[in-house]
Amino acid sequence: MEQNHTVTVILPCNNLDAGEAFYKRIGFTRKGWDNDYRIITDGKGAEIHLQKAVEGWLVPGRNPFGLYLRVENVDQIAAKFGKKAEDEQWGMHEFTISDPDETLIRIGWPTLKS
């Protein structure tokens, strides 16, 4: 039996509590943790590991990290952040936000074309 592939993103994070609270607004809940590491999941296959950043990794205004989250409820999540998702020419209904460490988060779902 063939299984789906998955990928887990490991993000450096200056403040684990702030990071976890931010991703909770998107629909993630804590699955595991220790003092310097949090595992959060949306329960549908997406998993993010928040790792306490080494000093100097995350410089304000210069965070090079990003992730793309594909979820069906794009408009609901966008509304939680005062944003509006748009249909893009590359076939995705999406919007962008940044987490507390300025990680670029793009959230979208394929548009249905007849």
Q: How far apart are the first and last CA of the chain?
A: 32
Q: How many domains would you assign to the chain?
A: 1
pLDDT of residue 113: 62
Please calculate the CA angle 17-43-31 and round it to the nearest 5 degrees: 40
User: Tens digit of pLDDT for each residue in 59-103?
Assistant: 878 889 999 999 999 999 999 999 999 999 999 999 999 999 999
Domain residue limits at 53 = 9-110
pLDDT of residue 14: 93
* Global confidence as pTM: 0.88
Q: Which two tokens stand for residue 26?
A: 């998107």
CATH of the domain at 65: 3.10.180.10
* Residue 1 in domain: no
* Residue 3 in domain: no
* Residue 4 in domain: no
User: Tens digit of pLDDT for each residue in 11-70?
Assistant: 999 999 999 999 999 999 999 888 899 999 999 989 999 999 998 888 878 889 999 999
Sheet holding 9-13, edge to edge: 9-13, 47-52, 37-41, 29-34
